[in-house]
Structure 1
Amino acid sequence: MPDSIASSITLNGESYLLTGDTPLTALLERLKMRRGRVAVEINREIVPKANYDATIVRVGDQVEIINFVGGG
Protein backbone atom coordinates (compact mmCIF):
# COMPACT_ATOMS: atom_id res chain seq x y z
CA MET A 1 0.00 0.00 0.00
CA PRO A 2 1.42 3.45 -0.89
CA ASP A 3 2.67 5.81 1.83
CA SER A 4 0.25 8.55 0.82
CA ILE A 5 -3.36 8.42 -0.25
CA ALA A 6 -4.21 9.90 -3.65
CA SER A 7 -7.05 12.41 -3.67
CA SER A 8 -8.55 14.50 -6.39
CA ILE A 9 -9.27 18.04 -7.38
CA THR A 10 -11.21 19.27 -10.38
CA LEU A 11 -8.72 20.75 -12.84
CA ASN A 12 -10.20 22.59 -15.82
CA GLY A 13 -13.41 20.60 -15.45
CA GLU A 14 -11.82 17.15 -15.10
CA SER A 15 -10.78 15.00 -12.15
CA TYR A 16 -7.04 15.23 -11.41
CA LEU A 17 -5.24 13.13 -8.80
CA LEU A 18 -3.00 14.66 -6.16
CA THR A 19 -1.37 13.13 -3.10
CA GLY A 20 -2.95 15.47 -0.56
CA ASP A 21 -2.70 19.23 -0.28
CA THR A 22 -0.20 20.67 -2.77
CA PRO A 23 1.40 24.11 -3.16
CA LEU A 24 0.10 25.86 -6.27
CA THR A 25 3.65 26.38 -7.54
CA ALA A 26 4.30 22.61 -7.27
CA LEU A 27 1.12 21.88 -9.22
CA LEU A 28 2.17 24.30 -11.97
CA GLU A 29 5.61 22.67 -12.13
CA ARG A 30 4.03 19.21 -12.33
CA LEU A 31 1.86 20.44 -15.23
CA LYS A 32 4.96 21.99 -16.87
CA MET A 33 3.37 25.44 -16.88
CA ARG A 34 5.37 28.63 -16.44
CA ARG A 35 3.83 30.68 -13.66
CA GLY A 36 4.35 33.95 -15.55
CA ARG A 37 2.24 32.72 -18.46
CA VAL A 38 -0.84 31.45 -16.61
CA ALA A 39 -3.86 32.75 -14.75
CA VAL A 40 -5.24 30.61 -11.93
CA GLU A 41 -8.66 30.49 -10.31
CA ILE A 42 -9.37 28.30 -7.28
CA ASN A 43 -12.98 27.79 -6.20
CA ARG A 44 -14.06 30.69 -8.44
CA GLU A 45 -11.53 33.13 -6.92
CA ILE A 46 -8.65 34.48 -8.99
CA VAL A 47 -5.30 33.89 -7.32
CA PRO A 48 -2.96 36.89 -7.67
CA LYS A 49 0.47 35.91 -9.01
CA ALA A 50 2.02 37.40 -5.86
CA ASN A 51 0.17 34.74 -3.83
CA TYR A 52 1.15 31.68 -5.87
CA ASP A 53 3.95 30.66 -3.46
CA ALA A 54 1.65 30.81 -0.41
CA THR A 55 -1.41 29.19 -2.03
CA ILE A 56 -2.22 25.57 -1.23
CA VAL A 57 -4.44 23.48 -3.53
CA ARG A 58 -6.57 21.31 -1.27
CA VAL A 59 -8.39 18.06 -1.94
CA GLY A 60 -11.79 18.82 -3.48
CA ASP A 61 -10.80 22.26 -4.83
CA GLN A 62 -11.97 23.37 -8.26
CA VAL A 63 -8.97 24.75 -10.14
CA GLU A 64 -9.02 26.52 -13.49
CA ILE A 65 -5.71 27.30 -15.18
CA ILE A 66 -5.48 29.36 -18.33
CA ASN A 67 -2.17 29.13 -20.16
CA PHE A 68 -1.33 32.11 -22.36
CA VAL A 69 0.37 31.22 -25.65
CA GLY A 70 2.10 33.75 -27.86
CA GLY A 71 2.12 33.68 -31.61
CA GLY A 72 0.18 34.97 -34.48
Structure 2
Amino acid sequence: MLKIKLNGQEKEISQGTTVQNLLDKMKIKNTMFVVEKNLEILPKEHYISCKISENDNIEIVGFFGGG
Protein backbone atom coordinates (compact mmCIF):
# COMPACT_ATOMS: atom_id res chain seq x y z
CA MET A 1 0.00 0.00 0.00
CA LEU A 2 1.09 3.55 -0.75
CA LYS A 3 0.44 6.53 1.50
CA ILE A 4 -0.68 9.66 -0.34
CA LYS A 5 -2.47 12.91 0.40
CA LEU A 6 -5.80 13.23 -1.39
CA ASN A 7 -7.45 16.63 -1.12
CA GLY A 8 -5.47 17.29 2.06
CA GLN A 9 -6.29 13.97 3.76
CA GLU A 10 -3.97 10.99 4.27
CA LYS A 11 -5.11 7.95 2.26
CA GLU A 12 -3.72 4.53 1.40
CA ILE A 13 -3.98 3.18 -2.13
CA SER A 14 -2.70 0.09 -3.92
CA GLN A 15 0.68 0.13 -5.61
CA GLY A 16 0.33 0.67 -9.37
CA THR A 17 -2.81 2.84 -9.05
CA THR A 18 -3.17 5.38 -11.85
CA VAL A 19 -4.97 8.69 -11.61
CA GLN A 20 -7.80 7.19 -13.69
CA ASN A 21 -8.06 4.20 -11.31
CA LEU A 22 -8.37 6.63 -8.39
CA LEU A 23 -11.09 8.66 -10.15
CA ASP A 24 -12.99 5.44 -10.96
CA LYS A 25 -12.80 4.28 -7.32
CA MET A 26 -14.12 7.68 -6.22
CA LYS A 27 -16.91 7.41 -8.84
CA ILE A 28 -15.99 10.79 -10.33
CA LYS A 29 -17.64 11.04 -13.75
CA ASN A 30 -18.12 14.81 -14.00
CA THR A 31 -16.02 16.35 -16.78
CA MET A 32 -15.76 19.69 -15.02
CA PHE A 33 -12.72 19.07 -12.81
CA VAL A 34 -8.94 19.08 -12.89
CA VAL A 35 -6.44 16.84 -11.16
CA GLU A 36 -3.31 18.31 -9.66
CA LYS A 37 -0.41 16.02 -8.79
CA ASN A 38 2.36 17.53 -6.67
CA LEU A 39 1.37 21.10 -7.65
CA GLU A 40 1.16 20.34 -11.40
CA ILE A 41 -2.12 20.15 -13.31
CA LEU A 42 -2.33 16.90 -15.26
CA PRO A 43 -3.75 16.87 -18.79
CA LYS A 44 -6.76 14.52 -18.97
CA GLU A 45 -5.04 12.35 -21.57
CA HIS A 46 -2.40 11.47 -18.93
CA TYR A 47 -4.87 10.21 -16.28
CA ILE A 48 -4.84 6.65 -17.63
CA SER A 49 -1.02 6.33 -17.71
CA CYS A 50 0.05 8.49 -14.75
CA LYS A 51 0.86 6.21 -11.80
CA ILE A 52 0.58 7.57 -8.28
CA SER A 53 3.68 7.21 -6.09
CA GLU A 54 4.33 7.13 -2.34
CA ASN A 55 3.80 10.56 -0.70
CA ASP A 56 2.20 12.12 -3.80
CA ASN A 57 -0.15 15.00 -3.13
CA ILE A 58 -3.28 14.69 -5.28
CA GLU A 59 -5.90 17.44 -5.44
CA ILE A 60 -9.15 17.02 -7.37
CA VAL A 61 -10.86 20.34 -7.99
CA GLY A 62 -14.36 20.55 -9.45
CA PHE A 63 -15.99 23.51 -11.17
CA PHE A 64 -19.59 24.41 -10.50
CA GLY A 65 -21.76 26.87 -12.40
CA GLY A 66 -23.84 29.46 -10.69
CA GLY A 67 -24.33 33.10 -10.34
Instruction: Give TM-score scaled by structure 1 length.
Output: 0.78
CA RMSD in angstroms, aligned pairs only: 1.7
Q: Contact 1:33 / 1:67 at 8 angstroms: preserved in 2?
A: no
Kindly provide the amino acid, as one letter, of the partner of residue 2 in structure 2: S
Question: Greater share of helix residues, 1 or 2?
Answer: 1
Query: How many residue pairs are counted as aligned between the two chains?
Result: 67
Residue aligning to 1:51:
46
Q: Contact 2:2 / 2:53 at 8 angstroms: preserved in 1?
A: no
Distance 2:24 2:37 in 1: 17
Q: Contact 2:18 / 2:51 at 8 angstroms: preserved in 1?
A: yes
Distance 1:71 1:32 in 2: 23
Q: Contact 2:4 / 2:54 at 8 angstroms: preserved in 1?
A: yes
Identity of aligned residues (%): 34
List gaps (5 residues or longer) in structure 1: 1-5
Matched, 1:18 2:13: yes
List gaps (5 residues or longer) in structure 2: none
Instruction: Give TM-score scaled by structure 2 length.
Output: 0.83
Structure with larger Rg? 1
Give every structure 1 segment of 4 or more consecutive aligned residues whose post-TM-superposition deviation is greater than 6 Å: none
